[in-house]
Structure 1
Amino acid sequence: MFARPILTALMLSALTLPALAQDADTVVAKVNDTEITLGQMAAMKIGLPPEMAGMPAPELWDLMLDQMIRQAAMAEVGEASITARDTAALAIDRRAYLAGAALERLAEFEPTDDEIQAAYEKAFPADKPVTEYDADHILLETEEAAKAVIEELGKGGDFAKLAEERSVDTGSGLNGGDLGWFTTDRMVKEFGDAVASMEKGATSAEPVKSQFGFHVIKMNDSRVQEPPALADIRDALIQQIRREKVEAEIEKVTAEAKVEKTEGLDPAVLEQDVLGVGTE
């Protein structure tokens, strides 16, 4: 019989022994000849929605492993009778995943403060201030109807009342024709150009034709747009910088790749049953 001090020491030693080494290649189950690894389980967990990934570990483990066992069993059935369509789809899925993974890693970088400042200055150049306009309009279907409204305004007619009664743009018409503040790039070109050429307080002397009809415009005011504070749009700028870097890398890698397109193929060949799915 062990003396108590020796027994206690052995028990403590057992408790502190390191667990067996476990890595991505650790096999957690085997379905016939297919191995399911710890790495595959971990990859599956990363792709789960948050509500599932947050489940207690034992429940999540059993759920995922059961799913992967069923998947492995059915995959063997599918592989035993693999078709041309299956082979093509697997190649597409592999390419799509690898490309996505490469782009995801590329987009993980953190832009420097200088890069963020440069993106801000590019979006809101100090030497090119943007003007905002406050205008109302009455939209009519015909030029004659628009000219009639202009004539009534010239006789002292109330713009807001005429907008409510006559404008086919019912959204702004209910508000007396009010369009609020806007930049000209948000409007159709004809309307934007007309507003930008008008004096404060002026009303259209002639109808302005656009794809929507004939506009009678009242220009209320204009102002230089105040750019947002950098701190308020910092996150958006970071995402923009990342997108631009990813797009530039795609262009660079594609340009450097050796691409050989087979000449002479008729695009109409896609209308043929090249995968034999019609006979499956």
Structure 2
Amino acid sequence: MKRIVMLAAACVIAVPAFAQNVATVNGKAIPQKSLDQFVKLLVSQGATDSPQLREQVKQEMINRQIFVQAAESSGIAKQADVQTEIELARQGILVRALMADYLAKNPVSDAKVTAEYEKIKKEQAGKMEYKVRHILVEDEKTANDLLAQIKSNKSKFDDLAKKNSKDPGSAEKGGDLGWAPPTNYVQPFAQAVTQLKKGQLVDKPVQTQFGWHIIMVDDTRPVEFPPLDQVRPQLEEMLRQQTLADYQKQLRDKAKIQ
């Protein structure tokens, strides 16, 4: 009877130890803590913690342990190329964690976002965007012939664009490229656009790497700068990347490289 009582007591003591592991694979324990950390990582990436997810994670960790043990017993883990890949993966994880930790400790403030917004807004002040039409052809002679016809009657532009332009995106719309700032276009197309006023047509065809263009500006207007809330996500990401770039430069500058 005494032996039974002692055995029962031993089982009670052992239960917490076993409860700390979700499984044991060939004598190798998979701790509950490891599963919890795996689940936490998946949740941070958008998954929802649930019994189903935890069971999937458990089975995945069991499979991984089985396969890792097989790789180690076969000697694959000691192969030079495998060791190199493992080391590169370790470095990548550490670098990613370092950058995430730095951003967490040095977050982009609302003040920085607002200051950057005002800076860009000031830079854009006074800039214009243009409603442009063009006809793209392969050679200068064709461009000159078409330009002569349009100069005599600008209303021909739409029909001539539909029949002759090699730009599939705008030809069917009479050459219309819509509203855009000059920076959207290649040079010297952009330069030609900025030299034209509302309703003006180029004096001569403009050549780019795409061919010969006949350009007409239908209208102009000041660039309308978007409100802060609309561009906040882009500004925050840009500032985060700049923060990381500055941090990386600091580390590089401090490093002793021989």
TM-score by length of 2: 0.82
Question: Corresponding residue for 2:239?
Answer: 241
Is residue 140–residue 168 contact of structure 1 (8 Å, CA) maintained in 2?
yes
Unpaired segments ≥5 residues, structure 1: 1-19, 261-280
| TM-fit CA distance, 1:49 | 7.4
Q: 1:209–1:52: structure 2 CA closer, same or farther, 3 Å change rule? A: closer
8 Å CA contact 1:107, 1:243 repeated in 2: no
Deviation at residue 191 of structure 1 after TM alignment: 0.4
Match of 2:139 in 1: 142
Aligned to 1:265: none
Does residue 219 in structure 1 map to residue 213 in structure 2?
no
Change over 3 Å in CA distance of 1:51–1:218 after alignment to 2: closer
Matches within 5 A, 1:108-187: 108=104, 109-125=106-122, 128-156=125-153, 158-187=156-185
Q: Could you tell me which residue of structure 2 aligns to residue 86 of structure 1?
A: 82
| Structure 1 residue 78: Cα displacement | 1.2
Once residues 73 and 91 of structure 1 are traced to their aligned partners in structure 2, the CA distance between those partners, rounded to angstroms, is 21
Q: CA deviation at 1:28?
A: 3.6
Match for residue 69 of structure 1 among 62, 66, 70: 62
Distance 1:126 1:53 in 2: 42
Amino acid at match of 2:254: E
Q: 1:53 to 1:181 in 2, by over 3 A?
A: closer
Structure 2 gaps of 5+ residues are 1-15
Letter in 1 for 2:166: V
Query: Cα 1:147–1:102, aligned 2, differ >3 Å: closer, same or farther?
Result: same
CA drift of 1:135 comes to 1.2
Contact preservation (8 Å) 2:200, 2:217: yes
* Aligned residue identity for 2:139: T
What letter is aligned with 2:231? I
Q: Which residue number in structure 2 is paired with residue 202 of structure 1? A: 200
Q: Which residue of 2 aligns with 1:99?
A: 95
Q: Distance in 2 between matches of 1:232 and 1:74?
A: 49
1:39 paired to 2:33: yes
Greater shift after overlay, 209-218 or 35-44?
35-44
Identity of aligned residues (%): 28
1:141-161 Cα shifts (integer Å, max 9, x gaps): 110000001111122251111
2 CA distance for matches of 1:33 and 1:96? 31
SS at the partner of 1:36?
strand
Deviation for aligned residue 1:239: 1.7
Cα distance between partner residues in 2 of 1:249 and 1:51? 25
Distance 1:135 1:52, change over 3 A: closer
Please report how far the alpha carbon of residue 33 of structure 1 lies from its aligned counterpart in structure 2 after TM superposition. Answer: 5.2
Secondary structure at the counterpart of residue 255 of structure 1: helix
Q: Aligned residues, how many?
A: 236
Alpha carbons 1:52, 1:60 under 8 Å: kept = no
Maintained 8 Å contact 2:161/2:174: yes
Alpha-carbon RMSD across the aligned residues, in angstroms, is 2.4
1:124 is paired with a residue of what secondary structure? helix
Q: Distance in 2 between matches of 1:104 and 1:27?
A: 30
Asked if the contact 1:201–1:220 (Cα under 8 Å) also holds between the matched residues in 2, the reply is yes
Larger helix proportion, structure 1 or 2? 2
Matches for 1:19-30 after TM superposition, within 5 Å: 26-30=20-24
Q: TM-score, normalised by structure 1?
A: 0.76
1:69-99: CA deviations, max 9, x gaps?
2211221221230211121111111111111
Structure 1 residues 213 and 240, CA gap change in structure 2 (3 angstroms)? same
Structure 1 position 63, deviation (Å): 2.6
3-state SS of paired residue (1:221): strand
Per-residue deviation, 1:228: 0.7
Q: Deviations over 1:191-249 (max 9, x none)?
A: 00001011221111111011111111111121110111112222222222111111211
Bigger shift: residues 193-202 or 153-162: 153-162
What displacement does 1:51 show?
10
